[in-house]
Structure 1
Amino acid sequence: MLSSEIEIDIRFSETDAMGVVWHGNYLKFFEDGREAFGKTFGLEYLTIFDQGYFTPIVKSEIDHKAAVYYGQAIKVITKYIPSKSAKIMFEYEVVNLTTGELCAVGKTMQVFLEKESRTLELLTPDFYSHWKEKNDVVF
């Protein structure tokens, strides 16, 4: 399974009045994880864009398990989930590096939109099929 990790220091601006990371920031942490994954495995947003596609999120899930506070650090583990369909799916784990607790788990699903027409691509784009082959992605 392809996966990557990124560590993030929690900033004051990411917390609420209680000093707890605001729940909406977990989607941003997932985004940070996807960007790190893309850099590691050659599936960056600009690469996808240069191939003529956007990949918007069409589904996201988050299960919050434990709080994270200002001044702590987290690790976001991003795991690629293979699919035969023309979509990109990831699972995430957010671990508090200060306490060792699992703080959140989640999933996202992205689809391919053709850049010029903004229409949904129902078939897997060639460049994505080649990427899967290069990275030994199997179902």
Structure 2
Amino acid sequence: MNNQQLKELKIAAECFVEVPFFDLDPMNVVWHGNYVKYFEQARCELLRHINYDYPQMKASGYYWPIIDMRLKYIKPASFGDKLVCIATFIECENRLKIEYLIQHAESGEKLCKGYTIQVAVTTDDFEMQLASPEILKENIQRYAEQQQ
């Protein structure tokens, strides 16, 4: 599985969030840091699709810390808004890059977008891997084949 093949597959997952009161800032909109939490929820759903969520990562001998993240805020969300958070695989060869889109579930308006980059490090000595472990690519490939 290379990055071009992965992009063509467009493997994505979504989760839904209803904005709770405690996610708001003093201006009564979602505090900017909470979008990271919404990204995380969508990322976990995506990883569950390929049977490689955080417990499976650790069991395979790797941690996958986030080393880079970008968010672009487009429009604020407010208390009670229903959001759809979509995570999509973009790269898997040397790193794991996932793109995100958060939209208002009812209107479809884009509220926030961004990406995260994760790299594999061994669980025993935290050595960063220069290429993604085969288990990630195998799980993505297996999922893609099951969807056809």
TM-score by length of 1: 0.91
Q: Does residue 114 of structure 1 match 2:122?
A: yes
Supply the RMSD in Å over aligned alpha carbons.
Answer: 1.5
Matched position secondary structure for 1:62: strand
CA deviation string 1:51-103 (max 9, x = no partner): 01110000000010001001111000111113421x11100100012443100
Aligned-pair distance for 1:134? 1.8
Unaligned stretches of 5+ residues in structure 1 = none
**Between Structure 1 and Structure 2, how many residues are aligned?**
136
Aligned to 2:76: 67
Give, in whole Å, the separation in 2 of the partners of 1:122 and 1:5: 29
Aligned to 1:123: 131
CA deviation string 1:4-29 (max 9, x = no partner): 11000101111111210000111111
CA deviation string 1:23-57 (max 9, x = no partner): 01111111001111112221211101100111000
Aligned-pair distance for 1:136? 4.3
- Write the mapping of 1:86-125 to structure 2, written as runs, cut at 5 A: 87-125=95-133
Give, in whole Å, the separation in 2 of the partners of 1:18 and 1:68: 11
Aligned to 2:4: none
The letter of the residue matching 2:53 is E
Aligned to 2:25: 16
Aligned to 2:63: 54
**How many percent identity over aligned positions?**
24
Unaligned stretches of 5+ residues in structure 2 = 1-9
Matched position secondary structure for 1:61: strand
